[in-house]
Amino acid sequence: MNRSMNFVAGEWIAGAGWKSDINPGDLADELGSYASADGRQVQDAVDAARRAFGPWSACTPQQRFDALDRIGGELLARKEELGILLTREQGKTKAEAVAEVARAGSIFKFFAGEAVRLHGEKGESVRAGVEVDVTREPVGVVGLITPWNFPMAIPAWKIAPALAHGNCVVFKPADLVPGCAWALAEIISRSGLPAGVFNLVMGSGSVVGQAIARSPGVDAVSFTGSQKVGEGLRRDVVGRGARLQLEMGGKNPLVVLDDAHVPTAVECAVNGAFFSTGQRCTASSRFIVAEGIHDRFVAAVIERMKGLTVGYGLEDGVDIGPVASESQLAQNLSYVDIGQQEGARLAWGGDRLSRERQGYYMAPALLTETSPDMRVNREEIFGPVASVIRVADFEQALAVANDTPFGLSAGIVTASLKHANAFKRHAKAGMVMVNLPTAGVDYHVPFGGRKASSFGPREQGSHARDFYTVTKTAYTFCP
């Protein structure tokens, strides 16, 4: 069995234990065995990052550009091979997986560019003869904790800006997907970074994640994952005075107005709710549909769902891969039951499927006749389960869309410029989509949400520097 180790202080080292990595679409396929760190190994990684920080933060932007550009180039060149690994490990279809690896490559290339872009300001003081400079400096050692749903792209959109802005990294991937994390770390290990600048510590959240969050040597933590874990980090990380960025769940609405182009509405709904097996924080889970189009829309969505192929992600013609884990599958199926107990109608799907290979397959589910107060419309399910809420008009649709603790992404399908603009202005979400699925975002612009979905500055695009740098204001007087 192939054993893959942690990367600490520039060396590959065994952990305190080993964890096996199983393909969710083919339970007979074991990808390998991966090291699990303990608290001491996390501390070694933090210490190595601290030692590396001084020289690394003083190296030239060109050195940072070169390393990031090399990592991005290799990801792009190997997107097919790494995409297959991603499908085997996480389940999403090969097309989705290859696109995710390419996205990770583009993110490294983008942040290579950020490393050599000027970020400062220089201006006059309000006092005579005094000049003011505003510059950005790295924060220090950053701990990066990531979920399993985008095992290449999310690590990339944290690691790349951290390094671009001169920080050192201690990276903990989700325990479900060490293979992608290890492959990425292996590429990073050959990119010319000095020892200790980048460290990989695989293992569980309760051991490795906690040790990162509580280590006084970690100046900042960026986390993507569930709201529950995020709230715990708020206590641990903010409580000790360190910087924190949280990207958490969503309960994203897709509003469909009477004047919507039905094929567009159906594509937005099916893509947004069910592609990537619904395991996207930006997935649509509430279709909020105006009365006049409701029945036509529901019938057309069901027709489209009947044509979707659920199966093994490496097979041709598959639209939806397996659910990523047994516990996530159980959660999805239980919400299908909860919805029906609350009075929803299961209009399509929602059952476990068997396939030639054993895995966690399920038919995407559509619940109709639901109301905004039902649990299926309030709690994040994180699977291919969507519900339909009938509304009278735009005003009611907007109110229902905003009636949620979350605020990540919100979409509307309409031909009305007036309603599209009003939705863009008044949706309480970090990202708004017009005639597009709620999921599927560009890599060069900010990403993030409001309310219970996010905490701290935005990720991605140039805005990422707000988290990964500290601002310094310097005054100079020449007598």
Q: Going by C-beta distance under 8 Å and a sequence separation of 6 or more, which residues neighbour residue 417?
A: none
Task: Work out whether 209 is an interface residue with ligand NAP (CB under 6 A).
Answer: yes
Determine if residue 140 is left, alpha or beta; phi over 0 gives left, psi from -120 to 50 gives alpha, anything else beta.
left
Q: Does 408 participate in binding ligand NAP (rule CB under 6 A)?
A: yes
Alpha helix (H) residue ranges in 18-125 = 39-58, 61-77, 79-90, 94-115
Stretch that binds ligand NAP, among 188-196, 199-207, 284-292, 348-356 (CB under 6 A): 199-207
Does 48 bind ligand NAP (CB under 6 A)? Our answer is no
416-455 binders of ligand NAP (CB under 6 A)? 453
Among 168, 180, 268, 281, the active-site one is 281
Nearer to ligand NAP, 404 or 453 (CB): 453
The values of phi and psi at residue 108, to 5°, are -65, -40
Of the residues 147, 272, 321, 322, which one makes contact with ligand NAP according to CB under 6 A: 147
Question: CA-CA distance, 375 to 356, in Å (whole number)?
Answer: 34
Candidates 206, 309, 421, 476; binder of ligand NAP (CB under 6 A) is 206
Which residues inside 350-389 make contact with ligand NAP, applying CB under 6 A? 380, 382
Nearest-angstrom CA–CA distance, 87 and 401 = 33
DSSP of 440-454: ---SSS-B--SGGGE
User: What is residue 310's DSSP assignment?
Assistant: B
Of residues 6-35, those binding ligand NAP (CB under 6 A): none
- Is 459 among the residues known to form the active site? no
* CA distance linking residue 222 with residue 44, whole number of Å: 20
Give min distance, CB of 413 to ligand NAP, in A: 23
Active-site entry in 96, 114, 247, 379: 247
Interacting residues with ligand NAP between 88 and 107 (CB under 6 A):
none
Tell me the residue length of the chain: 479
- Number of C-alpha atoms within 13 angstroms, CB side, residue 158? 31
| Out of 113, 194, 232, 372, the residue judged to bind ligand NAP by CB under 6 A | 232
Query: Could you say which of 101, 107, 145, 385 contacts ligand NAP (CB under 6 A)?
Result: 145
209 touches 174 (CB < 8 A): no
Instruction: Kindly write out the interface string for residues 154-173 of this chain, putting x where it contacts ligand NAP by CB under 6 A and - elsewhere.
Output: ------------------x-
Give the C-alpha distances (Å, rounded to integers) separating 441 from 266, 320, 372, 428, 445: 19, 19, 26, 18, 8
Verify whether residue 356 is a known catalytic residue. Answer: no
The only residue of 45, 75, 248, 362 in contact with ligand NAP, by rule CB under 6 A: 248
CA dist., res. 93 & res. 110, Å (int): 25
Q: Rounded to the nearest whole angstrom, what is the least distance from the CB of residue 241 to ligand NAP in the complex?
A: 18
Cα–Cα nearest to 359, from 101, 113, 29:
29
440: left (phi over 0), alpha (psi -120 to 50) or beta: left
Provide the minimum distance between the beta carbon of 159 and ligand NAP in the complex, in angstroms, as a whole number.
Answer: 14
Return the range that interacts with ligand NAP (CB under 6 A); candidates 226-234, 342-350, 366-374, 388-396: 226-234
183 close to 84: Cβ distance less than 8 angstroms: no
State yes or no: residue 205 binds ligand NAP (CB under 6 A): yes
Q: Is residue 188 a contact point for ligand NAP (CB under 6 A)?
A: no
Least spacing, CB of residue 443 vs ligand NAP, in Å: 13
| Contact with ligand NAP (CB under 6 A) among 71, 281, 293, 329 | 281
Q: Residue 462: phi, psi to the nearest 5?
A: -65, -25
Q: What residues make contact with ligand NAP under the rule CB under 6 A?
A: 145-149, 172, 174-176, 204-206, 209-210, 213, 224-226, 229, 232-233, 247-250, 281, 380, 382, 408, 453
Known catalytic residues?
A: 247, 281
